[in-house]
Amino acid sequence: MTIQRIEPGVRMSNAVVHGNTVYLAGQTGEGEDVQAQARSALAAVDALLAQVGSHKSKILQATIWLRDIADFAAMNTVWEAWIDPSNPPARATGEARLAAPELKFEVIVIAALD
């Protein structure tokens, strides 16, 4: 079975396809608050999934990291507007110190291919 690496760099690939599954690297976004960053990161998820022939309706699992768990409700507003309501994935959310102090949101996605 082949492995396809999408946008590989020296440290990581933005996505890896193996069989009928795509694994995305953690996606972060831009903006001043958690909602803006979530929207931006989820747009990056959309773009990566489209690049490999998948879609958010095919997401199997998502792991979300928030810098401050107090942002949980605000983030969920963006998440619930974005997900395919007929196909919600399994999801976990936790609080973590992210890679840079300005980051408030990061999402890691595993999805099936079409």
Q: Map out the domains of the chain with their CATH numbers.
A: 3-112 (3.30.1330.40)
**Cβ–Cβ < 8 Å for 49, 58:** yes
Query: How many residues does the structure list for the chain?
Result: 114
Report the chain's mean pLDDT, rounded to a whole number: 97
Query: Residue 111: pLDDT band by 50, 70, 90 thresholds?
Result: very high
**Cβ–Cβ < 8 Å for 26, 13:** no
- Average pLDDT of the segment spanning 57-74: 98
Residues 43, 24: Cα–Cα separation, whole Å: 13
* pLDDT(1) > 90: no
Q: Which two tokens stand for residue 47?
A: 């773009």
Query: Residue 114: pLDDT band by 50, 70, 90 thresholds?
Result: confident
